[in-house]
Chains A and B, each alone.
Chain A
């Protein structure tokens, strides 16, 4: 990509009036949001609030009823974006019957990168020692790290991570958040979802979602100042109550 494009895009992701209906239920009634380029942005909300649907729309695999989704200034799902957007689904989407290295080798070939790239992402998620193990023999946490490693291949400019830390032990969660912070510091935009409100402290910016609508889009200090709450959990409750009135 020419450096020009990189400079001129302020928002890596821009969603306008996005409406998604799944199985007769309105999941997103018409959401607007932006994700600034190069930032680590947390998408927080309870299970069922539409986080996954929103992320699927951003990576271009969701049928949408109305609205527009732009990534790096181009319509979501455009072929040229498939080299630049990495996506981690909620369940580890890797082949359980292949080894870690075989999985990453396949995805690397599809992206046109090589063995060096596989070694790099293995190191990033601390799985180098497990490269030859079959994925089905790994723990749940190791499996989700393989899935994350696959998304890091090819150094995408935008990473969309759907609950990558769910069910992991606290040490591993801390390590992964440090990894996200490092990757974002290198200029990658990261949108990471979680239903654990505590993880908000790790994010540069927060998007709070409930029932397919955006409750907040600001930094953590801004959110706490506006609601007068002590933490994100309290802020969330305060916003829901204001909303109900």
Chain B
């Protein structure tokens, strides 16, 4: 892989996004609105402090998954990917370029969302804020890399959107947000162990009650592992030769 090609690709993707203010608004503002809605609904109760941090791990995952899988699919369908595959860049350069670009957007999104949650909605967390931001950024990057990996399964943009309920909803149901994982049937608890969102929510729940950051490093390592695997899957599903 070549840093020059990955960076050029990341810069190109960011330029494309810059020409599209509506997508930027969706990425940055939409999660804040959704969290604001929850805060308003539970106004005057301590509920936001309990579930708010976990939601910081849910909204970015969904938004980044959708944006990335659709953008990547568009590249496949428009013929630009075919052109790139005849040019001197490696498949990894394309995927890493995408991951870098959307990772940067994800970082911006996470920063704005955490600032909004704490500053405007008055969410309290026991752990340090930087740790909350770190997990939120990783979570958004995770969403982007899962979107990259899954986009190969979709043939149309319509199908790409359908991948969201297929790949994200099971994680939402089993991540421990609806029911604590240790109260789930054993099979479901076992399934939740191999789903990445589980570790995001676990880290966020830890940060909401525990001032000690050391407790989240295990989760952070697992999330990072999932990101690496998803990027690698995304690179292997890009085919230079197609039928």
Chain B residue numbers with a CB within 8 Å of A87 are 83, 86
Q: Does B82 contact A (CB under 8 A)?
A: yes
Contact of B78 among A63, A93, A107, A110 (CB under 8 A): A93
What is B's interface to A at a CB cutoff of 8 Å?
4-5, 8-9, 11-12, 15-16, 19-20, 78-80, 82-89, 240-243
Contact indicator B8/A98 (Cβ below 8 Å): no
**Are the C-beta atoms of B16 and A60 separated by less than 8 Å?**
no
- Taking A94-B80, A102-B15 as contacts, is the C-beta distance between A22 and B88 under 8 angstroms? no
Given A89-B79, A93-B79, A98-B12: A82 and B19 interface contact (C-beta under 8 Å):
no
Chain B residue contacts of A61, Cβ below 8 A: 82, 85-86, 240-242
Indicate if the CB atoms of A98 and B16 lie closer than 8 Å. yes
The reply to whether B86 and A98 form a contact with Cβ atoms under 8 Å apart is no
Whether the pair A95, B82 counts as a contact (CB closer than 8 A) is: no
> Total interface residues on A, using CB and 8 Å?
33
A to B contact number (C-beta, < 8 Å): 75
In the complex, are the beta carbons of B12 and A102 less than 8 A apart? yes
- Find out whether the CB atom of A110 lies under 8 angstroms from the CB atom of B86: no
Query: Given A23, A96, A110, which contacts B88 in the complex, CB threshold below 8 Å?
Result: A110
- Knowing A61-B82, A89-B79 are in contact, say whether A110-B243 is a contact too (CB < 8 A): no
| Interface of A toward B, CB cutoff 8 Å | 22-23, 56, 59-63, 77, 79, 82-83, 85, 87, 89-98, 102, 106-107, 109-112, 134, 150
Task: Chain A residues near B19: list those with CB within 8 A.
Answer: 97-98, 134
Once the chains are docked, how many angstroms separate the CA of A96 from the CA of B74?
11
Give B93's nearest chain A residue, CB to CB: A110
Q: How far is the CB of B157 from chain A (nearest CB, A)?
A: 15
A60 touches B88 (CB 8 A): no
> B241 and A77: CB pair below 8 A?
yes
Which residues from chain B contact A93 at a C-beta distance below 8 Å?
78-80, 82-83
Is A110 a contact partner of B79 (Cβ separation < 8 A)? no
Contact present for B241 and A110 (CB under 8 Å): no
- With A89-B82, A97-B20 known as contacts, the answer to whether A107 contacts B240 (CB < 8 A) is no
Q: What is the bound-complex CA distance between A107 and B83, given in angstroms?
A: 10
Residues of A within 8 A of B83 (CB): 87, 89, 93, 107, 150
Q: How far is the CB of A25 from chain B (nearest CB, A)?
A: 11
CB-defined A-B contacts under 8 Å, sample of 25: A23-B243, A60-B241, A61-B86, A61-B242, A63-B241, A63-B242, A82-B87, A87-B83, A87-B86, A89-B79, A89-B83, A92-B79, A93-B82, A95-B80, A97-B20, A98-B15, A102-B15, A106-B12, A107-B83, A107-B87, A109-B4, A109-B5, A111-B88, A134-B19, A150-B83
